[in-house]
A and B are shown apart, each in its own frame.
Chain A
Amino acid sequence: MTRVHDRGGWPGAGPIDRQEHQLADWELLADALVQSLASPHRGIIRIDELRRAIESLPSPDYESLSYYERWIAAVERLMIEKKIVTREEIDAKVATLGEECRE
């Protein structure tokens, strides 16, 4: 069984894009959300749970999303799984924040 995250020796891999990339604000936020949720002080998620959630993404998503996009998709999944938030709450908040941006 081939697992999409298990990349060692993956056939057809091409040249490495060595371009440097400055982390965007939302990427810093994604990292900070994970580190805060996983801190010993909070202990709400474990890094292995995050990895498991990332590995459970549908293969096309895993391959098309960027690194921190995968993190966000996984955090969302874990927060819903742990009944801390619902998908409806997140969707509603996305809509609210979108409106604030347009004002």
Chain B
Amino acid sequence: MSQGHGHGHDEHAPIRHDGHSSPLARRARALEALLTEKGVLTPADIRSAIDALVSRTPADGAKLVARAWVDPAFKARLLADPKAAAAELGIDLTSYARLGVVENTDKVHHVVVCTLCSCYPRMLLGPPPAWYKSLNYRARTVADPRGVMREFGLELPPKVEVRVLDSTADMRYLVLPRRPPGTEHVSEAELRSLVTRDSMIGVSNPQPERAHV
């Protein structure tokens, strides 16, 4: 993770995320070569795993959320059986871990973390952002969720119950965020674009579109 390494672009500073700077990056290449030479994995295995990784994006999660916002019956099905509801929209989650969907309301706000590693609903959001995997997010979200959300620009009223979900086991959790006020006449397709990745983790709320749009 990038914390502690500064944000500047000093050319003499170690570049942490460049392929040639980390000795572990070279060892990844070496492992790839050895495992394919020995026939443990095929290049096709690795290729299709990379394809699966990059083809999952928060767009799938946003699709579910926007439909739940416009269709109360779908929302009920999504909360009761997320995978079956996703299948209705053509999102196949059969090969993934168990999924729970939790709803944010004016009374309860959920935020998700994994303190032990970085369990994340990749099947609907793609790979987790760097901050989700950071030691500071993992340390602080369970002990001071309001402080963490404040850093993300979200100040919740005291009367709202903040519910932290530490997904440490076989379940993955997706937050169904609140529909922004003033979007009653916005189409489902447009609503999708309002659903942010961070709001489906629970560190922020979706914002209504700007007035000029």
Q: Do the two chains touch directly in the complex (Cβ atoms below 8 Å apart)? A: yes
Q: Which residues of A contact B (CB under 8 A)?
A: 5-10, 13-21, 23-33, 35-37, 39-42, 44, 51, 54, 63, 65-69, 72-73, 75-76, 79, 84-85, 89-90, 93-94, 97-98, 101
Identify 7 new A-B residue pairs, CB closer than 8 A, beyond the known A7-B135, A44-B40, A51-B116.
Answer: A7-B116, A13-B140, A17-B131, A18-B152, A24-B18, A68-B24, A93-B30
Chain B, residue nearest A66 (CB): B1
Assuming the A-B contacts A8-B142, A84-B38, are A16 and B148 also in contact, with contact meaning beta carbons closer than 8 angstroms in the complex? yes
Q: How many cross-chain pairs have Cβ atoms below 8 Å apart between A and B?
A: 170
* Nearest CB of B to A77, in Å: 11
Chain A, residue nearest B128 (CB): A67
Assuming the A-B contacts A7-B115, A24-B17, A28-B50, are A15 and B136 also in contact, with contact meaning beta carbons closer than 8 angstroms in the complex? yes
Alpha-carbon distance between A89 and B35 when the two chains are bound, in angstroms: 11
By a CB distance below 8 angstroms, the chain A residues around B40 are 37, 42, 44, 84
* Nearest CB of A to B22, in Å: 6
Chain A, residue nearest B1 (CB): A66
Q: Is B189 an interface residue (CB 8 A)?
A: no
Binds A, one of B41-49, B63-71, B173-181: B41-49
Check A25–B19 contact: CB distance below 8 A: yes
Check A9–B143 contact: CB distance below 8 A: yes
* Nearest CB of A to B173, in Å: 16
Give residues 30-86 of B contacting A (CB, 8 Å): 30-35, 38, 40-41, 45-47, 49-50, 52-54
